[in-house]
Structure 1
Amino acid sequence: MIDCKPIDTLMDPNVNLLPDEGKAFPDPGRYRRLVEKLNYLTMTRPDVSYVVVVVIQFLNSHCDSHWNVVFRILRYIKGAPGKGLVYTDIGNLDIVAYTIAYWVGSSSDRRSTFGYCVLIGCNLISWKNKKQKVVAKSSVEAENRAMALTTQELIWLRYLLQEFHFCNIGIMSLICDNQAALHIASNPVFHEAK
């Protein structure tokens, strides 16, 4: 690892990982230990969070192609050793959450992947990347589920800040890039079609 060449991108966009594709990796314990350490690293490095979620799916069925992605993550980390979280006090307690869903994010089980990040002022304080528990029928459904899960996080954070006696909690905003999902979420008379 000391002599490896650093890279600027985490994952090759042309790589589509599937279980049991390619030759089995000879040392399953090594793969598992390294992926678990990378998962721990995501607590302070949200930039690697999504790709780590992808490789975690293959803890029990990993191949050379999965190891290559893990090795690529290490090369990325080597090229960006100073990245991490930095917090500044700007006196603003406005809470903004950004959410996104990747419909059919996994080609192996067709479940969508969602992610969110929550900022207080300009400080990132919460983030998550995870597969949704059910298969969404459309991108709008996947985005609505992501918005609902992000809203749960926002409510929890508001209660947490109140518990710590932060009196001047600002506006809470949820940002989503899917216009149809936003329309459904903001329509008080919308009912499911039968």
Structure 2
Amino acid sequence: MEDINPDNRLNFPATKRNRDFIGEVLSNYISPNSLFLEIASGSGEHGVFFQKKFPSIVWQTSDPELVHRKSINSWIKHEGLYSKMPEPLDLDVEMRPWPITKQLRSLIKGVVCINMIHISPWTCTKALFEESKYYLDQNNFLMLYGPFLQEKVQTSEGNLIFDQSLKLQNPLWGLRSIKNVNDIAFENGFKLDSVIDMPANNLSVIYRLK
């Protein structure tokens, strides 16, 4: 068991700003008595919030960074959810196959990825779809949340500045085009279910297997 010192809890300000809105979208897709896999869970603040919001489900967090997994465990302990939430998986989308047991695989009803694809190389987005398809069926979903570029929709000045700042940090980062993401999704047997406008020029994008 990784360190669960409460002092390991990280605080990502964006989480408190967007968790209620993301939760409202999820409420239309989440089924009771199911398990949902979150990719790149970061601090773990989203995970414990959704676990408390949807008490009939199990929210399985994951992250490749040890400092994040320590934070997730500390948040789980802080919120008194250790009897409900499993420990985060050490999961890097590009390290395949993912560390998903047969038992866990049989329980997954959805994959959720919040604010990852613009702060990771494009190869991570490809890996996300390529691997997720093995854990889902037509009744399940893959949800992406974050800022995107859209055809025929003017990108906000704030998102353009954000995109530039990301590319200065790492030339492999940056806002992704919905069209390009859709192309990867379609190549892997997914169809676009819905694109939902969110506050602060973000989107929730839902895919299902064909």
> Structure 1 length normalisation: TM-score?
0.26
- Greater fraction of residues in strand: 2
> Structure 2 length normalisation: TM-score?
0.25
Q: Which has more radius of gyration?
A: 1
